[in-house]
Chains A and B, each alone.
Chain A
Amino acid sequence: MKVETPLFVPVLAALPVAACMAILGLPVFGYEYAAAFRSLYFVACLVWLIPLALLQRAMWRRDWPWLRMALVLLAASYAMSILNAVLGQGLGIWLGLQKHYRWNELAEGLDGCWLALIAFCAVHAVAAYYLSLQQVRLHLAEAQAAARDAQLRALRLQVNPHFLFNSLNAISALVSAQSNREANRMLGYVADFLRATLAHDGRHEHSLAEELALLDAYLKIEQARLGERLCLNMKAGPDLLDNVMPYLMLQPLVENAIRHGIAPLSVPGRLDIRLEQVGGRLLVEVRNDGQQPAQPGCGIGLANVRERLRHLYGDDQEVETGWGQDGRFGVRIALPLRSMAAAA
């Protein structure tokens, strides 16, 4: 991948070279007329820089190999230096320093001009290469960010429909059982949850307050479905509501806890949700009663949460899951402590 560099690059590359040339470009004779010769070589070289830069850019654009480009540039700059020497002798004749052109001396003393032109080509090449590399890196980083964004979006969307259809199903059951009042109440809760999710603007993070509001809308639905079978205990520590939180992270955790933990139980189950600040981090803990399965498995929900957190915070996060001594399942997540105001 290659990126076109702007035209100011050869201009900048020409500045030091032109300065050197004004000093170096003196032929073997003509010290009495130094100012005239210097001006001539200086102007001539400056003029040569234009076709040279264009030539270099054209080759660069065509993706020529480095060696070929170098040879062509050497040849071109050599020809230009010879022409400079011809101009120099012309000035000498005009000033009366010599009678006629001495063609055998043309190759003498042109190293100054040639070297200057070569130096220009080298500086130009390095600058253009460096800038193009920078831009390629930038594009690459942008592409990676976009890919990560898309992936996060996909992970996030896996969460929603699952639960919505379950709720619609529950409402349908209530309607079939002619429990109109309950059906209506459930519809109200589902509408609440939809409103809360629809208000979201597509960012991957929002405040803990927004996340808890979403969770609350979700929990109302589960409470309506499970009634007394769900004992909920949710507590949040002070000054955390404005902390940054990945969008829709708590809801799948809690859904897991209810669906796989509490719902299959024949007795009421307790769900504890705790949010605290511990050692400079936000600690989220979800613990639920449940029946430990014979084969340990990890639901899509948990894998999804792990993946998203890794994308968002790299190593600055921690997820711990497992069955505790008390026979309850727990998920503990540590997140960076950072307020929305600071993140904005």
Chain B
Amino acid sequence: MNIRVVIVDDEPLARLAVKLRLARRSGFALVGEFGDGDSAHAGILALRPDLVFIDVEMPGKTGLEVLAALPPAQRPMAILLTAYDSFALQAFDLAALDYLLKPVDDERLDEALDRAQQAFPYRAHGRTLPPATPALRSFSVRVGARTVLVPVAQVERIEADGDYATLHANGKTWLVRERLHNLAMQLDARQFHRVHRSTIVRLDMIAELRSLTNRDALLRLHDGSVLRASRTYMPALAEALQHLDKTSA
């Protein structure tokens, strides 16, 4: 069964950007596009989509207002789009599925769509988390002609590198032919966390976390390396770190 999608943005090119990427994925069907908040409100009530991409800043009603005005039972999964944000927290208040900064890149959009696909089957039975897929034990990495197994427990962080990903483990780096968002789904969410569109980090490697004025944060790992954590991942990261504290205490 396809996920029925509505795109709401006052700029046609912005709608096009989502539409083109959506067309590359299977399992999604675009059922409507709206250019302003009022028609979007009426359209969502009439079409009953499963997922809505909605721009936050629009003339008339903002995306957040459109969502807030819908009765919770008829509120579709929402992925918020914004050019210059100050809405992250409100977005999470509205239980938005994800929150993307424009310009949206392919990885980040794919990730949001993955989330939608994971959440979709459980929507009918209330919002329960999908069960964790069996976590990966080790990565197999090809080095020249041989294949090396890198145990997941040794991996400290993973950086996106185009269509590849770089594993950092024990001071060495390994190149894996897999995109970051695919790897993210195979890792144990209690140990590894996405902190940026291009970075996954093992939670117990984090030595210092300092929040920045733009609500991103900077992480320093135990080995001295520094990483940026994007604000769109911060609420989830903060929660995971708190959980980590409790389990280690």
Contact = CB atoms under 8 A, between A and B. Distances in A.
Interface of A: 181-182, 184-185, 187-188, 191, 195-196, 198-201, 206-207, 209-210, 212-213, 216-217, 220, 227, 234-239, 241-242
Contact of A216 (B102, B104, B223, B226): B226
Which 7 pairs, one residue from A and one from B, show the smallest C-beta to C-beta distance?
A199-B214, A235-B224, A188-B105, A209-B218, A209-B210, A241-B210, A216-B228
Interface in B98-132: 101-108
A235 B225 contact: yes
Contact of B105 (A187, A212, A234, A237): A187
A213 B208 contact: no
Given A220-B198, A235-B224, A209 B103 contact: no
B220 interface: yes
Interface of B: 84, 101-108, 162-163, 197-198, 207-208, 210, 212-214, 216, 218, 220, 223-228
B213 A234 contact: no
A241 to B, nearest CB: 4
A2 to B, nearest CB: 44
A217 to B, nearest CB: 7
6 contacts: A181-B162, A185-B107, A188-B104, A207-B212, A212-B218, A238-B207
A196 B196 CA distance: 14
A213 B225 contact: no
Nearest to A237: B224
B220 A213 contact: no
A195 B197 CA distance: 15
B197 A236 contact: no
Contacts of A212: 218, 226, 228
Contacts of A213: 212, 216, 218, 228
A236 B101 contact: no
A234 B225 contact: yes
Given A181-B106, A209-B212, A212-B226, 13 more contacts: A181-B162, A184-B105, A184-B106, A185-B107, A195-B214, A196-B216, A200-B213, A201-B213, A210-B213, A212-B228, A235-B225, A236-B224, A236-B225
A181 B106 CA distance: 7
A185 B106 contact: yes
A331 to B, nearest CB: 18
A16 to B, nearest CB: 55
B99 to A, nearest CB: 14
Contact of B227 (A199, A216, A237, A238): A216
A238 B208 contact: yes
Contacts of A236: 220, 224-226
Chief secondary structure at chain B's binding surface = loop
Nearest to A210: B212
A195 B86 CA distance: 12
Contacts, number: 74
B105 A185 contact: yes
Contacts of B225: 234-236
A198 B212 CA distance: 13
Given A212-B226, A213-B212, A216-B227, A238 B106 contact: no
B101 A207 contact: no
A160 B90 CA distance: 32
Contacts of A216: 218, 226-228
A220 B220 CA distance: 17
B20 to A, nearest CB: 10
Contacts of A242: 210
Contacts of A241: 208, 210, 218, 220
Contacts of A235: 223-225
B105 to A, nearest CB: 4
A201 B212 CA distance: 12
A234 B226 contact: yes
Contacts of B213: 199-201, 206, 210
Contacts of B228: 212-213, 216-217
Contacts of B207: 238
B224 A187 contact: no
B220 A238 contact: yes
Contacts of A181: 106, 162-163
Contacts of A187: 103, 105
A244 to B, nearest CB: 13
A187 B83 CA distance: 13
Contacts of A206: 213
A206 B197 CA distance: 25
Contact of A188 (B162, B197, B224, B227): B197
B35 to A, nearest CB: 23
A200 to B, nearest CB: 8
A213 B163 CA distance: 24
B208 A188 contact: no
Contacts of A182: 162
Nearest to A182: B162
Nearest to B197: A188
Q: Which of A187, A236, A237 is packed against the most chain B CB atoms within 10 Å?
A: A236
Contacts of B210: 207, 209, 241-242
Given A213-B228, A241-B220, A184 B103 contact: yes
A239 B198 CA distance: 25
A199 B224 CA distance: 26
Q: Which of A182, A201, A207, A213 is packed against the most chain B CB atoms within 10 Å?
A: A213
